[in-house]
Structures are given as C-alpha cells and as structure tokens.
Structure 1
C-alpha cells in the first residue's frame, strides 16, 4: 500500500469518527474546533452589533437572536455528529427556525446578517437526507437572494454562489460520513459472519473426524464387554482394535489442529497492514499473493517470518516506514519464493541475533529455506527464502513454534 492510500485510510477513519460521538476530551475538542471555525461568518453580525448603529433595544434583540441562532445551530450539528440524532421532524423544525431567524434578523438589522444563511445551508446539507438537501440548499439560496435584494445588498448574487457551494459541499461530506459508517458496520458484520462460518467448519470437521471413530469405539467396547466372560481372547482383540482406532483418532485430531494453527501468508499480510497502520508506520505491501503452487510448509514458514518481522518493526525499531515485498526468483537451487521486510528504523537493540531471528532461521532451515537479516544504509532489512517445491521430510516440520518471539 502506498503513502497516498495510507493517508486516504487515515482520512476515512477521521470521517468515520465524525459520525460517532467523541470518545475522549481530545476528540471533543477537535470536533468543537471543526465546528467553531465555521463561525467566522458571524464576524459581520457581531461587528454590526458592537458598532452602535442600532438602538439599545435593537442591539439587545440582535444579541438574543444571534445567541438563539448559534445555540440551535450548534445543537443541531453536534447532535447530528453523534449516535443519538434528532428525529426527522425535529431536524426540519430546527432548520425552519434557523431560516426564520436569519430572515427576521436580516430584515430588521440589515445586510451584514446575510451570512446567517450560510449556516442554514450548512445545516440543510449536513442533517437532511440527500434528496431533501438537494432542494433545501437551493431554496435557502433563493430566500437569501430575495432578502438580500430587499435590504439593498449589491453582492447578493455573489453570496448565492457561496451558499450553494457550502451547502452542497456539506451534502457531500455528510454522504461520505454516512457511507463510511455503514461500511464500518458492514465490515463488523462480515467479520462476525466469518467467525461463525469458522466455528461451523470446526464443528463439521471435528464431527467428521471423531464421529465415526467414537461410534466404532463405543460399538467395540460393548462387544468386548459381552465377549469378556466367555471369549476373553476375542475380547482382547476388540480391545486392541479400540486402541488402534483411538490412536488414529488422536492423530487425525492433531493434524486438524495443526492445520488450524498454521498461519497463512495472506492473513499475515492483512494483519501486518493493521498493526503497522495502528503504530503510525507508513506501509507498502504487495497485492494478495497467488500461492497455489507453494507448499503449505513454505507458506507457513514465511507467514511466521512476516509476523516476527512486523512485531520487531512495531515494538523495537522506531521506524516510520516499512516496505514488504514478495517475489519469485530462479536460483541455482531451483525456484524460490522470497519475502523481504525493510524499514527505516534502528533495527532494535542488541548486537547479535535474538531468539526470534534464531527461531525463524531454524524454522526456515526445516523447509530448505534461509534467512538474512542486518542493517542497510537507511534502516534494517530482513530477507527470507523458501523453495517452491516441498523438501523431502519437511512435512509437519513447521507445525509448532520454534523459539519465535512472534
């Protein structure tokens, strides 16, 4: 994944948080600043009130009207950014009140108050459904134009463009927030469905592995019990059969569990992306690899290497960038699959290889591979190579972890 894609994910995450209530004081302050910066359009009404151009009663009424307008606007926008939103009718009622206050204040106090229509347009774009916002924003611009021409504002036509642009911009932002929130919920649903499917698969496999064996053991146990008084030799044969069946069932269960525990390279790549992004490390990962012709032992060994390497990058290196490459190479020893992990960090502490690298070296040697690790010009690089063809005698060699710190 490139830096641009990583930054796009960061922006998407921030937009997703916009659709949810703040989790802490920092997020609350960030949301407040995001909303408060748009209050710049209130500078003209505030300047008009403090300039002394109105009577005392008009100034007091102006301050009260402005406070009511800002209070309703902030309440509407803040509530819309949280999970407990106002109902549709209440949102429409608040928007109508904002529009009425904007018209009333502009009619009575003059053209400096036309900026209030920008907030009405923002409220329409950010809180209304897309179909409703598509006509509410132009309607707000039209009302603003009529009021502006009535109070003698020469730049009313220019303000129309501003009201339209800011309203439809908020419509786009609001739609993007809704989409990302729905996407996040969909991802959670997919993850839950995947977990349920994995449970069903595990239950089905265990049933297929143990159902027949346990039924046979039960049957032979009953048979041995009936044979024991009169035919002890035949009962002993049944007991021997029970022992063989139970041993074979134990082997089958161990093989199944080993298969479940064996890491997959595609899964480790996805996990590396999540871990590095969460640690603030810019990542560049290969596309989902095609490993159809790669032995399971070789793939599992590379998956362990990637997990250990990413762990070291996150915990010890202090790197800000990490590049992962997966390529096929033709060597004198035959076709090899090469995984390289390079970062711009310190490579961790210590002058020699740690337990993690030692364990990975042993793991790779069992499948006929090799490991190279060391500092490069701008960081640390780890390269692991495994053969594309299975090594004789390597089956099951990587089923159990070997001294890895992953």
Structure 2
C-alpha cells in the first residue's frame, strides 16, 4: 500500500474477471493464452505429421484437417465466453468437429485420438448441461470405437481421460455461471442499499422541513391579512417567519453534515466488498466496538479506513489485507486503534503522500495519531483515537 502511484501496479479495472468477455487487447491475449494451454494434446498429431510416416497427400490433408479442426474449436469455445453462437450454429460446429475427429483419427491412426478430448471439452463448454451430460459420454464412446478401428488396444484409458476432462469443463462452466450470478446479486444489493438510503433521506427531509414549511406558509398568510390594518402584528409574524426559516436551515445543514460524515460500520462493510471485488483476501471485523468513541473520532477513523483500502486496491499489488479494530490502553490513556496491513510492495519509500498527510491532520483534530510505514511483509497503517474514558480522566486531573 502506498500513496504514490507507480508504473506496473495492479488496479481493479486491469484485472481479469471470470465470466466476462474480453474488454481490451490485454484481456483478449489472456483468454487466448488460457485456451492455448490446452492445445497440448495436439502434440501427438503434430509429431505424427512431422515423422514422415505418411505420404505427401496424407500429410497435406492431415495438416489442412488439423488446422480446420483447431480453427473451428477455438472459434466455438472463445466465442462462447462473450456472445455465444445460436443453438443451431453450436450444433453445426460440434458436428464439424466430430466429423473431422473421426475422419482424421480413422485414417491417420491412433495419435489423432486426442482430438476427441477437444470435442468433449467443446460439448461441455457450449451445450446445455442436460445435453452435455449425454454428449460427453457419446464423444468418449465414439473415440473408443474409432480407436478399436485404428488398432488402439489401450483406448479405454483415453475414454476415461475424455470423460474426466469433459465433465470437468461442465464444472468450470457452472463455477463461471455462479460467479456471474454472485456479481449480479452484489450489484443488486448495492443498488437496493442506495435506494433505501435515498428513501431514508427523503423521509428525514420531509420530517425536518414539513412542519417548518407549513408554519412558514401559515404565518405568511397571516402577515398578508394583517399588513393593511395592523402593521405591528404583521411585522411580528414576519419575524417569526425569519426565526422558523433560520431554524429550518440549521436543521438541514445538520442533517446534510450527518449524511456526509462517514460511519465506521459502513466503511468496514464497504471495505470487505471492495477488497473481495479486487481479488484481495480480506480479514475485516464484522461489527466495530465504538464504546466511548465520539462522532468526530469515528469519522476520522472511517476516512482513514477508506483511504487505506483505496491505496491497497489501487497501488499496492497485494493479495491479502488484514483490518483490525482494537481497544488498547496506552500511556496517554485508552485508545481505539485501527490497523490496516497488507502484503504488497510497501510503496516507493519516498515519504508520505498528500493523502497520508491529510489523514494525519484529520486525526490530529480528533486528538488521534497516525503511523504508517513498511511492515515485515508489506505495508502497515495504524490510526489511534481517544475514547471517552481518556477524556474523563484528563478532565478529572
């Protein structure tokens, strides 16, 4: 965690999200890399082509068939990550893959049986689950028959491999779907929370201003009726209107200040969501114990937590963050201590940035202190504020 952005740091918008189509060239390359890793089963067909055991015509036909097979496979699986083909197009492409696998393995020999692994993976990745549960065993059975035709006596071992990889792909597909649903549910919860906060603000403003505005309207009408015949009483009504409007303005300012003041409980909940969304393992206390902590001190700690977590997510490159909130007895009296520690790079070591300086000033106004620096395995920030007990002791002395 650090105040100074550096080149090469990890940001949430740069991370690769599961279940989302590629958003830029970097995402595209990563997706292709992950898919390309599984092309290892093509080593046997390639070696068979290079070995020279086949004639020129068979080698050319095998190379063209292998190229077509890989092209159809990558098109089908990669397109399924973003905007999938229609059901009819998926079936046609799977049928093409099946025909190519049967033809190549049946004519060129057992080294080409590995193509059925990709057929099984394509079935598990693109077909509905109920259809995939039938198509994957069907691919394994078809591979076994082709293997027997090609003279492969150990085809049963390849059958197990095709089954395992195919059904593993269905499990990965379910995991991706669950991840997407959780992301959508989290966004829905956040939207509902925002709507609830708007409704609460509307209710509070109605309660604050409803009576005052009604009273101002009533007194304005009275002043209007009294103005021609009794200017003194009308002036009194105008004075009352001024007093009520000033009090309403004070109430609104206090309400807005309360809404703008961050709360530590809300910041802790937001911290857990932000770190998890950024791929950082988070250890965050569930409910803060704010016994004896004033509003200004709580607000200062909330600002510290928000700034610290922002730095962890944006600049540190950490994959683990621990947030602790403890009551401690110090030489200056009891304190509430907030610590945020990560296992990131720890910053550039050029001194505190403007953010940390601002937090230290905010804490100082609340009677607290701020410590920040490198830890054994990353960066650690500690903020302390006094509790009510320490204030009482000081006043009694």
Cα 1:380–1:293 shift into 2, 3 Å: closer
More deviation in 374-383 or 126-135?
374-383
Structure-2 residue corresponding to 1:71: 71
Q: What displacement does 1:243 show?
A: 1.4
Q: Does 1:155 align with 2:157?
A: no
What is the SS of the residue equivalent to 2:38? Answer: helix
Structure-1 residue corresponding to 2:139: 140
The 8 Å contact of residues 291 and 387 in structure 2, kept in 1 or not, is answered as: no
Q: Does 1:289 align with 2:291?
A: no
In 2, the alpha carbon distance for the partners of 1:59 and 1:360 equals 75
Q: What displacement does 1:329 show?
A: 3.7
Structure-2 residue corresponding to 1:172: 171
Cα 1:350–1:335 shift into 2, 3 Å: closer
Q: What whole-Å deviation, never above 9, does each CA across 1:361-386 have from its counterpart, x for those lacking one?
A: 33322xxxx32526577465523033
Q: What displacement does 1:117 show?
A: 0.3
Q: Does 1:61 align with 2:72?
A: no
Structure-2 residue corresponding to 1:27: 27
Structure-1 residue corresponding to 2:46: 46
In 2, the alpha carbon distance for the partners of 1:320 and 1:232 equals 74
Q: What displacement does 1:342 show?
A: 4.6
Structure-1 residue corresponding to 2:183: 184
TM alignment of 1:232-247, pairs within 5 A: 232-247=231-246
In 2, the alpha carbon distance for the partners of 1:103 and 1:377 equals 60
The 8 Å contact of residues 106 and 146 in structure 2, kept in 1 or not, is answered as: yes
Q: What displacement does 1:312 show?
A: 6.7
TM alignment of 1:291-370, pairs within 5 A: 291=289, 293=291, 295=293, 297=295, 298-310=297-309, 323-329=322-328, 336-342=335-341, 344=346, 349=351, 355-365=357-367, 370=368
Q: What displacement does 1:48 show?
A: 2.4
Q: What whole-Å deviation, never above 9, does each CA across 1:91-143 have from its counterpart, x for those lacking one?
A: 12221221122112222222121111000011011112222222221111111
More deviation in 234-243 or 59-68?
59-68
In 1, the alpha carbon distance for the partners of 2:258 and 2:113 equals 69
In 2, the alpha carbon distance for the partners of 1:154 and 1:246 equals 94
Cα 1:218–1:348 shift into 2, 3 Å: farther
Query: TM-score, structure 1 length as denominator?
Result: 0.80
Q: What displacement does 1:86 show?
A: 0.8
The 8 Å contact of residues 301 and 383 in structure 2, kept in 1 or not, is answered as: no
Q: What whole-Å deviation, never above 9, does each CA across 1:192-228 have from its counterpart, x for those lacking one?
A: 2222222222222222211221122112111101101
What is the SS of the residue equivalent to 1:47? Answer: helix
Cα 1:41–1:361 shift into 2, 3 Å: closer
Structure-2 residue corresponding to 1:215: 214
In 2, the alpha carbon distance for the partners of 1:363 and 1:321 equals 31
In 2, the alpha carbon distance for the partners of 1:182 and 1:75 equals 25
In 2, the alpha carbon distance for the partners of 1:21 and 1:318 equals 24
The 8 Å contact of residues 268 and 285 in structure 2, kept in 1 or not, is answered as: no
Cα 1:109–1:262 shift into 2, 3 Å: same
Cα 1:97–1:197 shift into 2, 3 Å: same
What is the SS of the residue equivalent to 1:60? Answer: helix
In 1, the alpha carbon distance for the partners of 2:349 and 2:308 equals 10
In 2, the alpha carbon distance for the partners of 1:147 and 1:48 equals 17
Query: TM-score, structure 2 length as denominator?
Result: 0.81
In 2, the alpha carbon distance for the partners of 1:295 and 1:189 equals 33
Structure-1 residue corresponding to 2:6: none
Structure-2 residue corresponding to 1:402: none
Unaligned runs of 5+ in 1: 1-9, 393-406
Cα 1:106–1:342 shift into 2, 3 Å: closer
Root-mean-square deviation (CA, aligned residues, Å) is 3.4
More deviation in 109-118 or 84-93?
84-93
More deviation in 252-261 or 305-314?
305-314
In 1, the alpha carbon distance for the partners of 2:285 and 2:166 equals 39
Q: What displacement does 1:316 show?
A: 8.8
Structure-1 residue corresponding to 2:371: 373
What is the SS of the residue equivalent to 1:263? Answer: coil
Q: What displacement does 1:164 show?
A: 1.0
The number of residues matched between the two structures is: 373
What is the SS of the residue equivalent to 2:262? Answer: coil
Q: What displacement does 1:246 show?
A: 0.8
